[in-house]
Amino acid sequence: MNKVATVVALLVLATMLNPVAASSSLGSSNYHHPYPTGIVPGDIVIGHNSLSSIIIPGYWTHTGMIAYYDPYAGDWVVVEAWDNPSEVRLVYLSDFLRRYDTVAVLRVATSNSIRQAAVQFALQQLGKPYDWKWYTKHVYGDSYYCSELVWASYMAAGGPDIDANPGWSWKYLDGVAPQEIYDDSDTYVIYYDSA
């Protein structure tokens, strides 16, 4: 079976098995985590879902970027590429946290101006469709998957490259998985909780 056929088969299987994609982030309350403190725009929120990890290589299965604080809601806003509905969208951090049994917040070892530029790039992608080609990555694309959006935002802002394995590999192909962002030497954990 060639690489493309394998990837297509995995995408079909992911669509059938991924309970995260089938649930709305609004109003779902599967997991309860203490609310993170000390976060800043440009931090990366990352989650693990045990069923999704069957399809997505590595422990971590989804990621988004902290965009800004909404004082009216009393909650941080996350920009994420989401597969249902298939688009780059905004969600509250509290909703993001409820979706995953384990969550972490990562900080990128860079300046606040680079972090802010990364956020601005991510926000400019709002409404773009979800990229089902997980085996590739592009900084300036017409569509994005979750970790591709986060990685591309930092690349467009001038770096650093937060893909721990930037070349082709059998595990990650030519894409960038949430696990690679977690493992990259330019990111570090500022919050971690497992329900």
Q: Report DSSP letters for the chain, one per residue.
A: --HHHHHHHHHHHHHHH-HHHHS-SSS--S---PPP-S--TT-EEEEE-TTGGGTSSSS--EEEEEEEEETTTTEEEEEEEEETTEEEEEEEHHHHHHT-SEEEEEEESS-HHHHHHHHHHHHHTTTPPB---TT---SS-S-B-HHHHHHHHHHHTT-----SS-S-BTTTBTS--HHHHHH-TTEEEEEEEE-
Query: 3-194: what CATH class?
Result: alpha beta
Q: What's the predicted TM-score (pTM) here? A: 0.82
pLDDT range class, residue 63, cuts 50, 70, 90: very high
The percentage of residues in the chain with a pLDDT greater than 70, rounded to a whole number, is: 81
Write out pLDDT tens, residues 81-138.
998 878 999 999 999 999 999 999 999 999 999 999 999 999 999 999 998 887 879 9
- Spans of all domains in the chain: 3-194
Residue 171, pLDDT score: 58
